[in-house]
Structure 1
Amino acid sequence: MNRGQIGNLFLVLVLGLFIGAISGIILDRLFGIHFFSMFLFDQPFVLELYIIKVGIQLTPASLIGIVVTGYLALKKG
Structure 2
Amino acid sequence: MIDYFALALGHGLIAIALLRLVLRDGLDTDPLIEQMASDTKANRKANSGTARSAARRARKPDDPATQQHGDSA
TM-score using structure 1 length: 0.31
Larger Rg, first or second structure (1 or 2):
2
By relative contact order (CA 8 Å, sep 6+), the higher-ranking structure is 1
TM-score using structure 2 length: 0.32
More helix per residue? 2
